[in-house]
Amino acid sequence: MRILERNVYVGPSLYARFPVIKVLLDLGTLEQWPTAKLGNPFIDALVHALPSLQEHGCSYREPGGLIRRMREDEGTWLGHVFEHVAIELQNIAGEDVSFGKTRSTDTPGVYTVIYEYAQRDEGIAAGELAIQLL
């Protein structure tokens, strides 16, 4: 998994009315490994490393929604997990950010990930650390 491109938007943009970072993320061979295929040991280790991820509602809009989505059916792809991890790392650092969107591109395994930030350098570092953690 690697970041192909990163853009930092400091104000209103096409993506949000507040500061966001846009990352073009290449999952590489991990495109073949959604979270359910990676299995419970991966998910459990991620939750152990970042217990507060259990509070992310994701598309279910209730605490535990992200973890539920990671376990159900095929799970979700690591681009989506990257989004949540980058947000949560900033929350742990004391920032109140929550917005994120992940969308596939026309290239298999490459995703556009948008996530909110409060401090530019901290937001960039959260994305870098999310790559390392995942």
Residue 61: the pLDDT is 74
Residue ranges making up the domain that contains 8: 2-133
Q: How confident is the model at residue 8 (pLDDT cuts 50, 70, 90)?
A: very high
Q: Is the pTM of this model over 0.85?
A: yes
| Crossing angle of the two packed helices 78-92 and 120-133, in degrees rounded to 10 | 130
Residue 97: the pLDDT is 97
Residue 63: the pLDDT is 79
Coil, helix or strand at residue 110: strand
Q: How confident is the model at residue 35 (pLDDT cuts 50, 70, 90)?
A: very high
Q: At residue 17, does pLDDT exceed 90?
A: yes
Count of structural domains, the chain: 1
Average pLDDT over residues 37-62: 91
